[in-house]
Amino acid sequence: MTQDKDKEMSFTEHLIELKQRFKTVMISLVVTTIFWLGFPADPQKFISDPTGDYKPLVSNVLEFVKNYMISGEDARIILAKPTAGLEIIFIAALFMGIITSFPIIAYEIYAYIDPALYPHERRLLYGFIGSFVALFIIGSLFGFFIAAPIVFNAMIIFAKFAELDLFLNAIEFYSLIFTTVLMVGVVFTAPAVFVMLVRLGLLSTHVFRRNRMYIYAGLYILIAIITPDGWLVGNSVLFLPLVILLESAVYVARRYERKRELEEIESSSSGPAVTVMSCKYCGSSMAEDDVFCPSCGRAQQ
């Protein structure tokens, strides 16, 4: 029996559907986490010698992270308590489980909200999801392969300057890496969110341009908080790409604004054709007869 997609659902039916989709997400997360915990790192070795030393698949991830971040004898990772190894394995498996089950999570969210969208809203959502996911992946890769190594190398250099041995708490080390990767990925999605809000008419590029210095100052403070040590070079490595991304987002969003402004002017005009001009302060499209710019509110005379 097929359900009519256009049928309006009651509040209770929405809650039931939300419960089922949340259940599917949790089951997928549990299954993928168990997979990373239970699947052997070396299947051939496990099959040939099941009673030998066993390493879960997630241990390969931990080993790769350690070898990539810390090379040679520059620093040592230590366990601060007996249960630290178990906690690290579980945190890493949960992190990889979230990544592995992300397609299922994304689909369940999409399937829940899709019936309520109009065709133009659906097209807008497709573009937002695509850019959001792409920027999150780029940000996560940037955080792991570029930002985090620079910060840790700086810590090692300063330890050498002080002629001290650097010992890292294992739980703090891995938690810091995973958190940094996640937070940098989230921060990199800001341009997609900005363009989406502009296209929905909830935000204006004029607000950004008028408060550009304050926004960038707040962004730098946020970066200093999410980076491991708030080091100047480490902050700059993350801050400069974000400035480029945000300025690109403003350019793209401004094009959508101009298109919407022209459509509003044309739709509101009756009789003779209206001559369109640009505000000499903010560049917004406006009718030639307008005294004040509808975007920035400044007089043109």
Please report the pLDDT score of residue 40 as a whole number.
86
- Give the Å distances, CA to CA, from 297 to 17, 18, 95, 127, 135: 46, 44, 48, 31, 34
In a domain? residue 160: no
Residue 215 has pLDDT above 50, yes or no: yes
In a domain? residue 300: yes
In a domain? residue 279: yes
In a domain? residue 222: no
| Helices and strands, counts by H and E, the chain | 12, 4
In a domain? residue 288: yes
pLDDT digits (tens, 9 = 90+) for 154-178: 777 777 777 777 788 888 888 888 8
pLDDT digits (tens, 9 = 90+) for 41-71: 888 777 787 777 788 889 989 888 888 887 6
Q: What domain range is 276 assigned to?
A: 272-301
Predicted TM-score of the model (pTM): 0.73
Overall number of domains in the chain: 1
| Listed residue (259, 253, 220) closest to 238, CA to CA | 220
In a domain? residue 297: yes
Rounded Cα distance, 21 and 24, in Å: 5
In a domain? residue 262: no
Rounded Cα distance, 87 and 245, in Å: 36
**Is 107 strand, coil or helix?**
helix
- Give the Å distances, CA to CA, from 40 to 27, 88, 111: 21, 17, 34
In a domain? residue 293: yes
Q: Across residues 17-46, what is the average pLDDT?
A: 90
8-state DSSP, 162:
T
Phi-psi region of 283 (alpha: psi -120 to 50; beta: other; left: phi over 0): left
- Identify the residue whose tokens are 């094009």: 255
